[in-house]
Chain A
Amino acid sequence: GAGVSQSPSNKVTEKGKDVELRCDPISGHTALYWYRQRLGQGLEFLIYFQGNSAPDKSGLPSDRFSAERTGESVSTLTIQRTQQEDSAVYLCASSLFDSGANVLTFGAGSRLTVL
């Protein structure tokens, strides 16, 4: 597609439930990233996929968080047993190496509210 597409745009869930967030990257972009943006905070790196390499999971805050990516297409971020502190906007980005720099294109985000 023309841009990075994320769904759902808004998700309200009860504490303890599992949620899945989906990201459709730009076609042809080999790298895909997930970031978290809490209210009033900067962007917190979660996980990074690059082609067929093993993903960089160094930013995942706990084992309740996991992500998968099928080939160079869709990615799903799963949060199990959600907690209130998981409330945030989850941003997905894909990238194209351009003119000597890794330029990320972001989706509009999925806003998660855990009650």
Chain B
Amino acid sequence: GNSVTQMEGPVTLSEEAFLTINCTYTATGYPSLFWYVQYPGEGLQLLLKATKADDKGSNKGFEATYRKETTSFHLEKGSVQVSDSAVYFCALSDGTGANSKLTFGKGITLSVRP
């Protein structure tokens, strides 16, 4: 079945540091890939997405590139801020169109120190 594997956490960085959060997946077919973020005390919200190989999703300075050859969708940001402290979830959708559900990784907690 489909699965998403995220690197173990938590991750603690200083402000302005470079961030990489690894995500790899196992899926049949060609899933869409997502990063969701959960800020303290808030619900999950979509951060970025990519729907086909070599697509790059980007938002709020974060980027992730859909790498079919390595089945990866690593999240990167060049300079993190304290406000980026949150839990980050990698996810994939199985199937196409509206008839698909999302499979999530376990999430990783990012803490950014001033």
Contacts and interface: CB of A to CB of B under 8 A. Distances in A.
B106 interface: yes
Interface string B87-106: 00100010001111111111
A1 interface: no
Interface residues of A, number: 28
A56 B101 contact: yes
Nearest to A104: B102
A24 B36 CA distance: 21
Interface residues of B, number: 24
Contact of A91 (B44, B97, B103, B107): B44
Kindly name the residue among B49, B52, B99 whose own CB sees the greatest number of chain A CB atoms within 10 A. Answer: B99
A101 B94 CA distance: 11
Given A102-B97, A103-B49, A108 B102 contact: no
Interface stretch (A10-18, A38-46, A62-70, A79-87): A38-46
Contact of A109 (B43, B46, B97, B99): B43
The 8 lowest CB-CB distance pairs between A and B, nearest first, are A42-B106, A43-B104, A101-B32, A100-B51, A97-B98, A106-B44, A108-B43, A106-B43
Interface of B: 32, 34, 36, 42-46, 49, 51-52, 89, 93, 97-107
10 contacts: A41-B106, A42-B104, A43-B107, A45-B101, A53-B99, A100-B32, A100-B52, A101-B34, A102-B32, A102-B93
Interface of A: 4, 30-31, 33, 35, 41-43, 45, 48, 50, 53, 56, 91, 93, 95, 97, 99-109
